[in-house]
Structure 1
Amino acid sequence: MVNGFDAARLGSLPERERKLIERRQALLGPSYRLFYETPVHVTRAEGVWLYGPDGEAYLDAYNNVPSVGHCHPHVTQAIARQAAELNTHTRYLGEQILDYSERLLATFPAGLDRVMYTCTGSEAVDLALRLARYYTGGTGIIITENAYHGVTTSAAEISPSLGSNMPLGQHVLTVSAPDTYRAEGRDVGVALAEDVANAIAHFRRRGITPAAFIADGIFSTDGIFADPAGFLKPVAGLLKDEGVLYIADEVQPGFGRLGSHMWGFMRHGITPDIVVMGKPMGNGMPIAAVVMTSEIQERFGQDIRYFNTFGANNVSIAAASAVLDVIETEGLMQNARATGDYMLEGMRKLQEKFPVIGDVRGAGLFLGLEFVTDPASRTADGALALKVVNALRDRRVLISASGGQGNVLKIRPPLPFTRDNADVFLGALEDVLSEID
């Protein structure tokens, strides 16, 4: 795990945190991992800040789940009101789920006109795979080399970033992510389409019918690749011609995070067949969804009964509705674009000063800063990225890393992140790099 706490360092921690970790290990076991060499102990949060037990403030430049900010009052009030009134499942009639579904679907292209609800993004991916396989009659799934799509069995089988101890599914093939930094002038969109075409041919040569290609619109765990906008058009066209579905995983890039559009796939001028989204839609409440064409949903729904007890429960729908309110009324998508552009400019200035910054890229408030051993070789420097992540943590700025070598800073703060917040981040990053240099 990139940026994971090493339990061998337990003895070096303060007694309070050491005892908490010992309890975690005894009660939750080794699968539950902590971030940072020195784990962060938090007791409350507000906006883009997390606070420790002694009142110390940490700037959150990483968490996308509280998309409209930690503990946003409009969202928390909506949750409290609804919890005091009604919270049940979707087998009773009610207008709340219908009103929200109409609002949500209105943000999508016209052909994507059905929605099904789950509690988590992993469940949404699991359902999307079921839909794709049932609609196409196929089993083959194509993913990128360091993708992450969830933790259910079927989602983990298409998540190579979980590590080599989590085997990929037998009918899963990987392709290279569209790495513009190392493209050497080649069109990354054309290259991706060629790789996917080869994967489709590989499946068919072995008697496996391909069902879907799944990717998020910014390749968040592959290293964050956003530009040039439109590079997904070749692969989308290929999939349509081949009768293979395109699943857009919008759990991380969705809900206006990329600044220019509500959904990441829209930056590329394409319309996928299925879209999945996760907990950012409820600011952390357990709600997620799959949006698809009515044709795909009808074929599945007529034959297979689907029900999720807590999917779209009243309280979670209230939270999701409040999130849309905040995105619309507080101009958060526009803020993501403006602040993101400002951060890109600031990081490019740092790139001129520090040659170890090989590339700076991203869109809106989803940015990547890649560390290399030297600009000529472009050799990934994951060790340096890890040093920077932990040095920033020591300055109470929270960030993590991405990419197959763990050498890309993954900058993905809550959407209300401002220029002042960006200045704190950029200043801390410059201090850290100067100190390490």
Structure 2
Amino acid sequence: MKISGKSYYNMHYQTEGHKAQFYLEDAFTAHALVRASRQITDSEGYKQCMAKRFDSSQRTLDLNQLRSDPDLVSQNVCPILSRKIFMDAVVKIIEENIPELVHLNLSNNKLYQLDSLADLITSAPHLKALNLSHNQLKTEKVLDRLKGLKLVDLWLEHNPLCDQFKDQPSYISAVRERFPQLVKLDGYDLPLPIVFDVVATSTIPPCKGSYFGSEEIMFLILHFLQQYFSVYDSGDRQPLLNAYHDGATFSLSQPSSQSLSRCLLREYHKDSRNLKHLKDPSTRFRLLKHTRLNVVALLNKLPKTQHDIASFNIDVNTHTSMLLSFTVSGVFKEVEGAFQDGVRAFSRVFIAVPAGNSGLCIVNDQLFVRIATMEEICSAFATPAPTPSSSLVPALSTPKQEMLSTFSLKSGMNLEWSQKCLQDNNWDFNIAAQIFTQLKVTNLECIFRL
């Protein structure tokens, strides 16, 4: 026989039960033989035994209580499958001789771990049924080694792990988490798993534009945002006090899981109230700014910015006669400091209430800032923001210019908003005038005036 790559010839030995006693000439050979203890297997004897236990018609291999097999016992062979060397030999025989195996019974073998069985995933790719009952598997975690098997039938009863669950549904759920195609457990049919058919699409549907719900709300929000961000980007944010309710609240958050975010957004990090990572209740409360004085005080500390109005996407979440909630997302750039001209992306949720004839009053403001994507950076500020001097009137045809002048004169709105109102109504003067009249009745016309 060969041990550690060297050949040894048996001159004299004797056996007693499962033990063998050798008579050797030197200590070196004795140490080599000791290291081989429990490492020598009779693979040929195993193969003959497994051949008798294999049913080719059903592609089933029954290794139940293998250590008590009469043929192996008669040869003084004791295969302890809980030991890696023996299980490795069994798996190798399966791989080389019966890779088409569908059913495998390993019950009553005192198995307490399944590490060696992991090779069955590639050695027996057709394996569908596995019996591991009456063993010593203590927790469901040992099953993780077999997660690659596409089992439909599994036996685990009479293992300690079965007693670790509070009820049968928990047991089924834990096993099915590892073998989602399972339809039978311990001989019982399982309820069909809940699955969802997802139709694969070649492309992601394009994002839709802003949603306002009505033109009245659209005019109100657009004008509010134009006023708000013109002040926010002016360098002096103190006038924003007039935009907030006395009891307003404000919170700022950013993705704090990435070190790059913490570096590039460090001016925002110290005030970030990311509840996913912030567990201390007192810190959570401290970072939630209460009253308009504290809100604007924090806004004044944030980096000076310039927002790209053309990038804004606006969605109205809730609208009642007494409350308006909407989300604004887009990009801005910092105009001073270490990251001057650095483009950032943001999402902001405003909750506002009516404020007389002046428009809206903010009661809750939630700002989320993140690093902009490359696509957002490339498209940022590509379209110049509209200004009173950058009127599009010269590009209009003569009839439209005349209609625009007349509408602006009669409505009292500036040319920019008069043109928007006409464009939104396909240049139908009467419909645009009707909508403006409705707004005037509800005392909203003041937000469009010069």
Shorter-normalised TM-score: what interval?
Answer: under 0.3
TM-score (norm. length: structure 2): 0.20
TM-score (norm. length: structure 1): 0.21
The structure whose RCO (Cα within 8 Å, separation 6+) is larger is 1
